[in-house]
């Protein structure tokens, strides 16, 4: 991306996928099992209309474990996009399986770093929304404000130190729009 000194850095919402925007399915490889969280598509569209980039940041250790392929991952994403009714501005995923050290796997910030570099994003003006402590730790370490959603594994991670906790992606988008500068 070519930098224009006249244009301020972009702001983004970094979204976790499984349990945040789609119902949790352990190691989902089948598009027929994709079910978008109610209101998630409207959430992304409302943020997009307000000028936010919507970027998917997702660990996909099922690839590294051999449970499914990158093509399966892409098919699941395509079905989620269809159900949400809106495309992503970018998708970053980490196929590495624990315990392999990886600078990209959340809670590490490698995927956020790549996205911020690729799209000239200011992390301090951005948010990360997820359903696990690892999502929240990733966002906070990189300087984003964070929201824990109580869908997916969120109930189990209530005390993870998120800046805010809300019921779902729709409420996350509403909070972001209320709390952010234009």
5: pLDDT confidence band, cut at 50, 70 and 90? low
Locate the domains of the chain by residue range: 12-179
Which ranges of 33-167 does DSSP label H, i.e. alpha helix? Answer: 40-49, 61-64, 70-84, 110-119, 133-141
pLDDT for the residue 120: 97
Q: What is the tens place of the pLDDT at every residue in 101-141?
A: 899 999 999 999 999 999 999 999 999 999 999 999 999 99
Q: What angle do CA 87, 98, 29 make, to 5 degrees?
A: 40
Give the span between the Cα atoms of 24 and 14, in whole angstroms.
18
Query: What positions carry a catalytic annotation?
Result: 16, 18
Q: What is the tens place of the pLDDT at every residue in 10-58?
A: 999 999 999 999 999 999 999 999 999 999 999 999 999 999 999 999 9
- Which are the contacts of 70, defined by CB distance < 8 A and separation ≥ 6? 63, 95
Q: What is the tens place of the pLDDT at every residue in 83-97?
A: 999 999 999 999 999
- Pick one of 3.40.50.2000, 3.40.50.1000, 3.30.300.10, 1.20.1070.10 as the CATH number of 12-179: 3.40.50.1000
User: What is the distance of C-alpha 92 from the center of its chain?
Assistant: 9
């Amino acid at each position: 991306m070519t930098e224009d000194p006249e244009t301020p850095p972009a702001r983004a919402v970094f979204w976790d996928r499984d349990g945040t925007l789609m119902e949790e399915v352990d190691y989902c490889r089948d598009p027929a099992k994709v079910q978008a969280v109610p209101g998630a598509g409207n959430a992304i569209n409302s943020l997009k209309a307000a000028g936010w980039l919507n970027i998917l940041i997702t660990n996909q250790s099922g690839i590294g474990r051999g449970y499914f392929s990158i093509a399966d991952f892409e098919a699941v994403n395509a079905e989620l996009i269809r159900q949400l009714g809106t495309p992503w501005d970018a998708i970053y995923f980490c196929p590495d399986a624990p315990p392999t050290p990886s600078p990209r796997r959340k809670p590490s910030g490698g995927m956020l770093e790549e996205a911020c570099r690729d799209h000239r994003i200011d992390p301090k003006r951005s948010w990360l929304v997820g359903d696990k402590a690892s999502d929240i730790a990733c966002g906070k370490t990189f300087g984003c404000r964070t929201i824990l959603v109580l869908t997916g594994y969120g109930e189990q991670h209530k005390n993870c130190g998120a800046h805010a906790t809300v019921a779902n992606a729709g409420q996350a988008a509403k909070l972001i729009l209320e709390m952010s500068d234009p």
